[in-house]
Structure 1
Amino acid sequence: MAMAKPSFLLLLYLTIAVVVVLLLSAPATRPYRSHRRLKLRSSFSFSPSPPATAGSGAAHTIPFDPIISEIELRREDREWERAHYPEEKPAPGMESAPEWKEFGNAEDYINDEDHFNVTSRILLLFPKVDVAPTDGFITPEELAAWNLVQAQNDVMHRTKRDMKLHDKNRDGFVSFDEYERPSWAGRIDDNDSANDGVGWWNKDHFNASDIDGDGLLNLTEFNDFLHPSDSANPKLIYWLCEEEVRARDKDNDGKLNFQEFFNELFNLVQNHHEAPHESEEAPAKKLFSDLDQDKDGFLSAAELKPVIMNIHPSEHQYAKQQADYMISQADHDKDGRLSLSEMLENPYIFYNAIFSEDDYGFHDEFR
């Protein structure tokens, strides 16, 4: 029986594909269904933003479909080139191309059934997501893994673009002197320390990102520098913990007492948007005690490590959160996984773009 599964699944995919193609080729016989218009995201910034923290309320969505991601990134690239290099010729692959391939009218492309049909895309993408194991169902883990790859590809694309901007001498590395701090990060004084009281984008941040200690950031290190919460570099994770202590330590003793933890961090650890209520003091004390490994009544930077990813969510967490949302919306039989038919019945759930139905106006599935 085990040997027959791949063949059976292939036959299943082909059968469903044939049925869908027949339906699509006979529009006169299809029942009317309100057309939903997709819109590309336009909330990205050309310059780094303050680091995201849990409970900040910032929307974070990951494109499920690589085609949507490509269109969005190509459109960003065009605007970025115009903003930073107005005198340069278009980068390779960015030259004028016919119709939608130029991505100048991408809105028309993704809303034209002759070009882009979400049902057909689900049919194509389902077997690419259903890989561990290939059993005809997509689990939360499989969907989160797929989302994570899409997110990492997007992040690295933008990092390469930023590296071009900051690598002044075009040697493939970024030095601390080459990096231009974002305006919100404050200025650097003569001692290379931030005068705004926080350490983002200062020399400590740079050195923690510099894994090999050569004083320069290669592409991987520069990506870690821009996105520390996604890094596997232990020095950078520890730096994140140190930064939280530095920012929340009101009495400047280099550690956090319970009141500092409760007032400043507990709501972020719990992913709350508001300051903690008095009723939450008991669970906060328990968490504080659990984190306080040496039982000295204070939390050091090292003791914050178990919850630092709650404070600074990673792309892995966003990918899992989005996967859980998608499955909760499309899993009609509530078995905790998605069949191909469930995805075909709910295709728009998997497109993290704003869309609207003819009679209902715009709304956003993820915000």
Structure 2
Amino acid sequence: MAKPASARNPSAGSTVVLTLALALASAGLLFLLLHLSPSSPSPTPRTPHRRLRLRSGARAARQIPFDPVIADLERRLDDREWERLAAEGLHAPGMEAAPVPEDFTDGDADEDYINDSLRFNVTSRVEALFPKIDVDPADGLITGAELAAWNLATARREVLHRTARELELHDRNRTRWPSCTTATTMAASPSPNHNSTNDEVGWWKEEHFIASDMDGDGFLNLTEFNDFLHPADTTNPKLLHWLCKEEVRERDKDNDGKLNFQEFFSGLFYSIRHADDEGSTHDSIDSDAPAKKSFSQLDLDNDGLLSADELKPIMGNLHPSENFYAKQQADYVISQADTDKDGQLSMKEMIENPYVFYSSLFTEDDYGFHDELR
């Protein structure tokens, strides 16, 4: 009987086995090369980074832009949104939209981002702004007062810009300033971006207009109208007196033009209590002792009643001004960037902590489109 070929030739079987083994090894090596070799560089980095996002006025809330460049770009975004509302009939017809410069943005979905790292470098901006803030005195250190003054100047520019925009959109014939009727109508129907906190005290009434009209000509110029819209920030004594009178009027139950202790305790004291909350105890919360102490401190003539003028010391608590927010933001920034805890900021500290000054503008993206501003 004939034997199989492999039996007749033992080397033939070994060759087949060796061939199969080599084939399997080659396939395995090819698989490993395909799956473990480095992939080609991706055009979009997949590492977390930060990019600078612009905010419209509606998003900005009370955050004051640190950098005038950012403030200007955000102002343009806010104007564009304002004009869009005007075009939809929610405001008077506005001007042609002022676009954000394309050099700083991608447009479309990414138009709110500053994406040119060569033209906007956070560290370079901090270096450029430092000597502009360090002015009183220029000693190489920025104090809380200097930073607050810087913030306040920025905030006032923003507020005045919005006031001018109000005038431009409502003064249709462009020939005169708002009269009492025009101004009270504008104030009674504030725009969606108008953030006044004084609506509940009847601030649009004729007496408010008269107090704002410093020159008594029956119209409000830009400064007067700005005070009209933002009485908490005015230096006009007539308007400050009116604001105090409004606080009395809202809480004066017996209509005697002043506040007795019960009117103060039930209506006004809890509005200002947050300023003393840190030192409060559970017992004091349940008693009227703190209120009596506050009342006696305000009652300068000791007649047992608080007049409008006697409320002036607490008006800053009832109606925080831009100065309050400017100082608050300065204190916070210094607390975050003051690494040596001397209460001041050096150039080195600001350079080492640049994102503190732009913190409200940054977002973390795992799969972003921009590598700048890391």
Task: Give the shorter-chain TM-score range.
Answer: 0.7 to 0.9
What is residue 301 of structure 2 aligned with on the other side?
294
Structure 1, 165-174 or 99-108: larger mean CA deviation: 99-108
Q: State how far apart, in whole Å, the 2-side matches of 1:38 and 1:61 are.
A: 15
Aligned residues: CA RMSD? 3.0
**What does residue range 13-32 of structure 1 map to in structure 2 within 5 Å?**
none
SS at match of 2:55: coil
Which residue matches 2:72?
70
* Distance (whole Å) between structure 2 residues aligned to residue 234 and residue 103 of structure 1: 47
Provide, for residues 38-71 of structure 1, a one-character-per-residue CA deviation record: whole Å limited to 9, x for no partner: 33334529xxxxxxxxxxxx95111111111111
What are the Cα deviations for residues 219-258 of structure 1, in whole angstroms up to 9, with x where unaligned? 1100000111111100000011011111122333322122
Shift of 1:345: 1.3
Deviations 1:125-168 (CA, angstroms, capped at 9, x unpaired): 11110111111100001000100110011011111000112323
* 1:310 has 2:317 as partner: yes
Which of 216, 220, 237 is 1:217 aligned to?
A: 220
Q: Distance in 2 between matches of 1:103 and 1:150?
A: 27
Task: Specify the alignment match of 2:30 in structure 1.
Answer: none
Hey, what does 1:249 align to over in structure 2? Answer: 252
CA deviation vs aligned residue, 1:274-314 (integer Å, no higher than 9, x gap): 9x976143232112101101111111111101111221011
Give the equivalent residue in structure 1 for 2:126: 122
AA aligned opposite 1:118: V
**TM-score, structure 2 as length reference:** 0.73
Matched-pair contact (CA < 8 Å) for 2:151–2:326: yes
**Aligned partner letter, 1:283:** P
Q: Is the 8 Å Cα contact of residues 245 and 256 (structure 1) preserved in structure 2?
A: yes
Is the 2:142–2:345 Cα contact (8 Å) retained in structure 1? yes
What residue is the counterpart of 1:41 in the other structure? Answer: 55
1:227 to 219, 226, 230: 230
Residue 107 of structure 1 is aligned with which of 85, 98, 112?
112
Aligned partners of 2:327 and 2:94: how far apart in 1?
Answer: 40
Which residue identity lines up with residue 107 of structure 1 in the other structure? Answer: D
Q: Which residue is 2:137 aligned to?
A: 133
The answer for unaligned runs of 5 or more in structure 2 is 1-46, 191-198, 367-374
In 1, the alpha carbon distance for the partners of 2:52 and 2:250 equals: 41
What are the ranges of 5 or more consecutive residues in structure 1 without an aligned counterpart? 1-32, 46-57, 186-195, 360-367
1:290 and 1:39, CA in 2 relative to 1: closer, same or farther beyond 3 A? Answer: same
Question: Which of the two has greater helix per residue?
Answer: 2
Q: TM-score if structure 1 supplies the norm length? A: 0.74
Secondary structure (helix, strand or coil) at the match of 1:174 reads coil
Query: What does the per-residue CA deviation read over 1:300-359, in whole Å, with 9 as the maximum and x for residues that have no partner?
Result: 111101111221011111111110111111111111100111111111111252423347
Question: What is the distance in 2 between the residues matched to 1:351 and 1:250?
Answer: 48
**Aligned equivalent of 1:320, options 320, 327, 341:** 327
Change (3 A) 1:302 1:316: same
Which of 333, 341, 346 in structure 2 is aligned with 1:339?
346
2:155 counterpart letter in structure 1: A
Q: Which moved more, 1:161-170 or 1:217-226?
A: 161-170
Instruction: Tell me: CA distance 1:163–1:101, structure 2 relative to 1, closer, same or farther (3 Å).
Output: farther
Structure 2 residue aligned with 1:49: none
Q: Is the 8 A contact 2:50 2:365 kept in 1?
A: yes
Distance 1:102 1:341 in 2: 32
Q: Which amino acid aligns with 2:96?
A: P
